[in-house]
Chain A
Amino acid sequence: MQLDSLLLQQTSLSGSSQSPRSPSTQPFLSVSVTDPAKLGNGVQSYISYRVITRTNLPEYQGPEKIVIRRYSDFIWLHDRLFEKYKGIFIPPLPEKNAVEKFRFSAEFIEMRRQALDIFVNRIALHPQLQQSEDLKTFLQVDEETMERARSQETGIFKKKPADFMQIFKDVQSKVSDAVLGKEKPVEESNPEYEKLKNYIFELEEDLAEAQKHAFRLVKRHKELGQSLSDFGKAIKLLGACEGNSLGKAFSELGSKSEMLSIKLQKEAHNLLMKFAEPLKDYVRAVQSIKATMAERATAFKHQYELAETIKLKEINLDKLMLIRSDKVGEAEIEYRELKVEGEEATKKYEMIVQLMNEEIVRFQEQKTWDVGVAFHELAKGQAQLANEIADAWRSLLPKLEACSSAQT
């Protein structure tokens, strides 16, 4: 992919939460998720978002469309895409469940809004996913249609537990294979792919750790802010015991502390939104790759097993042909059908492999960019904060000087 187009994509991505791209001659599709609003009561309550689409793509109904969507609609879109675009790293969604206490906290809602915005824009910018009918549906249909579509998809949701069972069985058979000394489970033994797998797994681990520290850093900022505020108050009170100019100096130190406390809280929020959350998004992206890898493994296994069966069938067919059995015709039909199926499976698998190879490049480039932006935000925020701290304290110095010269 060209860096230029990547740049364009990325910038529109990061800018989309503020304002959609202005129309240009190039084809564009830009979405913003805005105005979270709490609907319903009690356990039934949920947050709905206004999803605004601006585009010049002819497949779309018009230049601007606004729909109301809720979190489960986004899940619907995600799952549909995951089903249909095997091999593509579907952009990750923010986590479903938060602690109940924070579910409707302003911070959580804003974090989720931002994550959903990024999610849908990533799809809109993805060369293949962009073409998806499901995206069009998601962005354009009215709320009732959307709800119907969503409830129909329960079929897919129902399929999920089966998948889990499959995974469980796989694990079980792997274990028993290992125990019984049977042949190795069917897996790709391509060393390059092995390396990629290891990379992804370790990356997830390392990123998770970094992300954990990032969130802790946010917390630390808040705590320091709180401490500064308390400290400021205590210092002010202590200053009140002093009276005179020294008391004033104390009181000003206290005020500055309280002022800086606010700055720290602000920076904590900034850090959360622009550094910690993107890092978490990175982790999610890696997890989405893992999901794709699971699909690839399934596809590989499928085509491998089919190939094995075909081989058996072929031998069987040869045998039948040798003894001129009357079952030859039937077997031949079965063999041909299987062959077609096997070819399809192989094609599907190869498609996944090819897509993944493309996607990995995309992923790496995109993450370099995302992380770069996050790093920049971190550095900028920290620099600004530190400067503000320095400025605030520095402004006290002349007063303290005056105070100490008045003393002598």
Chain B
Amino acid sequence: MMGFENQGFEEAHLFSSRQEIQSLVLDEPLDGKSFSDYRSAMSSISEAHHPLSPPIVGIEVDDDPLLSPSSYMDRRNPNVSENSYLEPPSYADVVFSPFGNENGEANGFENSTHDSVKSEIISRSASSSSGYIKIAVSNPVKEQEISNSLVPGGNTYVTYLITTRTNIPEFGGSEYSVRRRFKDVVTLADRLSESYRGFFIPPRPDKNVVESQVMHKQEFVEQRRVALEKYLTRLAAHPVIKKSEELKVFLQVQGKLPLPTTTDVASRMLDGAVKLPKQLFGEPATVVAPHEVVQPAKGGRDLLRIFKELKQSVANDWGGSKPPVVEEDKEFLEKKEKLQVFEQQLSNASQQAESLVKAQQDIGETMGQLGLAFIKLTKFETEEAMYNSQRIRAADMKRVATAAVKASRFYRESNAQTVKYLDTLHEYLGLMLAVHSAFSDRSSALLTVQTLLSELSSLQSRAEKLEVASSKIFGGDRSRIRKIEELKETIRVTEDAKSCAVREYERIKDTLHEYLGLMLAVHSAFSDRSSALLTVQTLLSELSSLQSRAEKLEVASSKIFGGDRSRIRKIEELKETIRVTEDAKSCAVREYERIKENNRNELERLERERRHDFLSMLKGFVINQVGYAEKIANEWANVAEETSGYTKESS
């Protein structure tokens, strides 16, 4: 099963080498002189081909196996090659035929074969055999910005035709094409990174602001086209992201991309909070702005939070106060560390792979140049030949030249393959970026949790303080109230005394009338009366002062009550804040856990896929090397055999 699958894609792989070959060969500028030399050499050798071009040379057309690809075509049946795998008669024959698709297809077709193959390669391990998405980016078109630009022609941009073919049921169809511009891709990437935190999301191609200015326009657009295609293909290969709403929308919806674009602070202030994809949470978001919490505080969205989290991260760095939640997932930390080492080795390996490819390319090129130099000599000797020995030599040279040119071509093809296999290293290096950002998602989520926790604890302590303070205040109030009560009691008692005194005074007045005649009695009565009056007066004045005191006290205590009430309100509010924050925290913790889970799953996936991809890489690399080495060996062995006459005597 495994072997079969592999074989299949290897076939495809080898099949699609044309583009790379071309770019390897033709992009490599041969210096003008030697180039014209080749031409002059070639023009007279009666073959019209450029010697470095694949269909080549035909110095010995008859028995050149490369010019009759049909025999290989038949054998390229995967079953055959699978068997040949273990007991290889000759890889060179069985495993591949790099010239399978040479018969002059149009460029576009080549591209698409190449591309679809590439996407297959990437998606192979990610998805089960059931669902595939093939994405092709093509047909870049320059368009005018509709906005009110003052300079006509100043604001142009390029849109690309993005064609999707899929059998994934979620897409509800099998083929779409939309036009998108790079900005839309940026939006897609931003939305994805918001929605799929903790996943290893393939990194978006760079904006390359500098390159866009410096590079030749067409070249730049083509480079970007390739990069976009690669990016989208990688997204489509991701088991989770390929089913995401965002990607679907991006690939399917005609016209303007409905995803919210990147938001700057100003627009955010105007629009209020952006509507973020709700599928983040299965449950409806009840908590106050939970999506704010589950996003890292970046991009000027929430300046205050940025500051807070910055402070928190500073606090973490300074290590003075231990953050409430630390990364305690030992397994994760271990894996992270291992990944760091892995990344280092990966980057080293990819660098070495690059220089290996370069060296292989160089040797092939030099071999080719040597071959061409001999072709030239062959031609020269043949033209000038006066002696038989010259003709013999010319024939020998021709053999060597042919072999060298063929070997050069094999080197080049082999190199194109090597590039493709070792590209896995690069892919993974790119992926490490995604891993990094997933990890930073995790740590920023952790940071959010930590920030919220510390905020919560500070809130709680504030609430406690307030409560303590207000309980003290209550105590004071009570004594004041008691005082008022006492005062009121006094007032009441005094009032009783007063009414008593008044009653006594009335009684004395009545009695006065009865004993009018009695002077003595009158005198004493008068003095009684005046003293009773005095008592009444005294009592009255005392009463009024008591009342005013009571009033004052009441006003004072009502003031106190009012203050208490506001303080209580404050406490209530604080409690509410704490509750909200707590909700936010638990939300953030959930988010963190989710990211953690994503990290873990992705790590597992990465490990699994890496194993598979690396194995494929090794196998591809090795088979390729074996195959081409065999081909080269055959070429030279023939020449060695043909020239063996020269050494028979001496050996």
Known contacts A383-B636, A390-B626, A390-B629; A203/B367 CB under 8 A: no
B374 contacts partner chain A, Cβ-Cβ < 8 Å: yes
**Stretch in A33-41, A160-168, A239-247 with 4+ CB within 8 Å of B:** A239-247
Interface pair A227/B618, CB less than 8 Å apart:
no
Q: In the complex, which residue of chain B has the Cβ closest to the Cβ of A230? A: B352
Interface pair A398/B632, CB less than 8 Å apart:
no
Distance A207 CA – B377 CA, assembled complex (angstroms): 7
**Stretch in A57-65, A217-225, A348-356 with 4+ CB within 8 Å of B:** A217-225
From A231, A368, A373, A400, contact of B353 by CB (8 A): A231
From B352, B396, B614, B649, contact of A242 by CB (8 A): B614
Interface pair A382/B359, CB less than 8 Å apart:
no
Q: In the complex, which residue of chain B has the Cβ closest to the Cβ of A15? A: B650
Known contacts A217-B367, A390-B626; A407/B389 CB under 8 A: no
From B355, B377, B611, contact of A230 by CB (8 A): B355
Distance A289 CA – B633 CA, assembled complex (angstroms): 37
Q: Return chain B residues, CB-CB under 8 Å to A233.
A: 352
Distance (whole angstroms) from the CB of A6 to the closest CB of chain B: 10
B272 contacts partner chain A, Cβ-Cβ < 8 Å: no
Interface pair B625/A11, CB less than 8 Å apart:
no
Distance (whole angstroms) from the CB of B28 to the closest CB of chain A: 14
Interface pair B366/A216, CB less than 8 Å apart:
yes
Interface pair B626/A394, CB less than 8 Å apart:
yes
Q: Return chain B residues, CB-CB under 8 Å to A379.
A: 400, 403, 636-640, 643
Interface residues of A in 362-382 (CB under 8 A from B): 364-365, 367-369, 371-373, 375-376, 378-382
Interface pair B3/A401, CB less than 8 Å apart:
yes
Distance A383 CA – B367 CA, assembled complex (angstroms): 14
Interface pair B345/A227, CB less than 8 Å apart:
no
From A15, A199, A237, contact of B349 by CB (8 A): A237
Distance (whole angstroms) from the CB of B8 to the closest CB of chain A: 14
Interface pair B384/A407, CB less than 8 Å apart:
no
A405 contacts partner chain B, Cβ-Cβ < 8 Å: yes
B407 contacts partner chain A, Cβ-Cβ < 8 Å: yes
Interface pair B636/A206, CB less than 8 Å apart:
no
Q: In the complex, which residue of chain B has the Cβ closest to the Cβ of A223? A: B359
B2 contacts partner chain A, Cβ-Cβ < 8 Å: yes
Distance (whole angstroms) from the CB of A329 to the closest CB of chain B: 51
Distance A398 CA – B88 CA, assembled complex (angstroms): 11
B109 contacts partner chain A, Cβ-Cβ < 8 Å: no
Interface pair B643/A386, CB less than 8 Å apart:
no
Interface pair B643/A376, CB less than 8 Å apart:
yes
Known contacts A209-B376, A386-B629, A400-B615; A234/B338 CB under 8 A: no
Q: Return chain A residues, CB-CB under 8 Å to B358.
A: 227
Interface residues of B in 627-647 (CB under 8 A from A): 629-630, 632-640, 643-647
Distance A250 CA – B610 CA, assembled complex (angstroms): 13
Q: In the complex, which residue of chain A has the Cβ closest to the Cβ of B627? A: A390
List the count of A-B residue pairs having beta carbons below 8 Å apart.
Answer: 240
From B355, B390, B614, B649, contact of A246 by CB (8 A): B614
A83 contacts partner chain B, Cβ-Cβ < 8 Å: no
Interface pair B342/A241, CB less than 8 Å apart:
yes
Interface pair A387/B359, CB less than 8 Å apart:
no
B1 contacts partner chain A, Cβ-Cβ < 8 Å: yes
A118 contacts partner chain B, Cβ-Cβ < 8 Å: no
A404 contacts partner chain B, Cβ-Cβ < 8 Å: yes
B447 contacts partner chain A, Cβ-Cβ < 8 Å: no
Q: Return chain B residues, CB-CB under 8 Å to A226.
A: 359
Interface pair B349/A223, CB less than 8 Å apart:
no
Q: In the complex, which residue of chain B has the Cβ closest to the Cβ of A233? A: B352
Q: In the complex, which residue of chain B has the Cβ closest to the Cβ of A218? A: B366
Interface pair A217/B622, CB less than 8 Å apart:
no
Q: In the complex, which residue of chain B has the Cβ closest to the Cβ of A361? A: B387
Interface of A, secondary structure class, is helix
From B389, B629, B634, contact of A368 by CB (8 A): B389
Q: Return chain B residues, CB-CB under 8 Å to A408.
A: 1-2
Per the CB 8 Å criterion, the residue count for chain B at the interface is 77
A214 contacts partner chain B, Cβ-Cβ < 8 Å: yes
Interface pair A368/B393, CB less than 8 Å apart:
yes
Distance A380 CA – B632 CA, assembled complex (angstroms): 11
Distance (whole angstroms) from the CB of B555 to the closest CB of chain A: 80
Distance (whole angstroms) from the CB of A383 to the closest CB of chain B: 4
Distance A387 CA – B625 CA, assembled complex (angstroms): 11
Interface residues of B in 520-566 (CB under 8 A from A): none
From B362, B632, B649, B650, contact of A386 by CB (8 A): B632
Interface pair A231/B355, CB less than 8 Å apart:
yes
Interface pair A407/B349, CB less than 8 Å apart:
no
Interface pair A390/B630, CB less than 8 Å apart:
yes
Interface pair A224/B360, CB less than 8 Å apart:
yes
From B88, B342, B645, contact of A397 by CB (8 A): B88
A235 contacts partner chain B, Cβ-Cβ < 8 Å: yes
Q: Return chain B residues, CB-CB under 8 Å to A398.
A: 86
Distance A116 CA – B417 CA, assembled complex (angstroms): 45
Distance (whole angstroms) from the CB of A281 to the closest CB of chain B: 15
Distance (whole angstroms) from the CB of A83 to the closest CB of chain B: 28
Q: Return chain A residues, CB-CB under 8 Å to B397.
A: 371, 375
Interface pair A364/B389, CB less than 8 Å apart:
yes
Interface pair B629/A393, CB less than 8 Å apart:
yes
From A220, A223, A238, A378, contact of B400 by CB (8 A): A378
Interface pair A371/B338, CB less than 8 Å apart:
no
B91 contacts partner chain A, Cβ-Cβ < 8 Å: yes
From A217, A371, A382, A394, contact of B366 by CB (8 A): A217
Distance (whole angstroms) from the CB of A272 to the closest CB of chain B: 14
A68 contacts partner chain B, Cβ-Cβ < 8 Å: no
Interface pair B399/A375, CB less than 8 Å apart:
yes
Q: Return chain A residues, CB-CB under 8 Å to B399.
A: 375
Q: Return chain A residues, CB-CB under 8 Å to B370.
A: 210, 213-214, 216-217
Q: In the complex, which residue of chain B has the Cβ closest to the Cβ of A213? A: B370
Q: Return chain A residues, CB-CB under 8 Å to B644.
A: 376
Interface pair B650/A11, CB less than 8 Å apart:
yes
Interface pair A407/B611, CB less than 8 Å apart:
yes
B351 contacts partner chain A, Cβ-Cβ < 8 Å: yes
Interface pair B646/A372, CB less than 8 Å apart:
yes
Interface pair A375/B3, CB less than 8 Å apart:
no
Distance (whole angstroms) from the CB of B316 to the closest CB of chain A: 29
Distance (whole angstroms) from the CB of B580 to the closest CB of chain A: 45
Distance A225 CA – B377 CA, assembled complex (angstroms): 29
Most chain A CB within a 10 A radius of its CB, from B88, B338, B396: B396
Q: Return chain A residues, CB-CB under 8 Å to B407.
A: 382
Interface residues of A in 46-74 (CB under 8 A from B): none
Interface pair A389/B629, CB less than 8 Å apart:
yes
Q: Return chain B residues, CB-CB under 8 Å to A227.
A: 352, 355-356, 358-360
Q: Return chain A residues, CB-CB under 8 Å to B384.
A: 195, 199, 202-203
Distance A245 CA – B193 CA, assembled complex (angstroms): 35
Distance A365 CA – B345 CA, assembled complex (angstroms): 56
Q: Return chain A residues, CB-CB under 8 Å to B386.
A: 364
Q: Which 8 A-B pairs have the closest CB atoms?
A: A386-B633, A383-B636, A379-B639, A379-B640, A390-B629, A376-B643, A210-B373, A227-B359
Chain A residues with CB under 8 Å of chain B are 7-8, 10-11, 14-15, 195, 199, 202-203, 206-207, 209-210, 213-214, 216-217, 219-221, 223-224, 226-228, 230-231, 233-235, 237-238, 240-242, 246, 249-250, 253, 360-361, 364-365, 367-369, 371-373, 375-376, 378-387, 389-390, 393-394, 396-398, 400-401, 403-405, 407-408
Apart from the given pairs A11-B650, A372-B396, 6 other A-B contacts in the complex at a CB distance below 8 Å: A238-B342, A373-B647, A378-B636, A382-B636, A387-B630, A407-B612
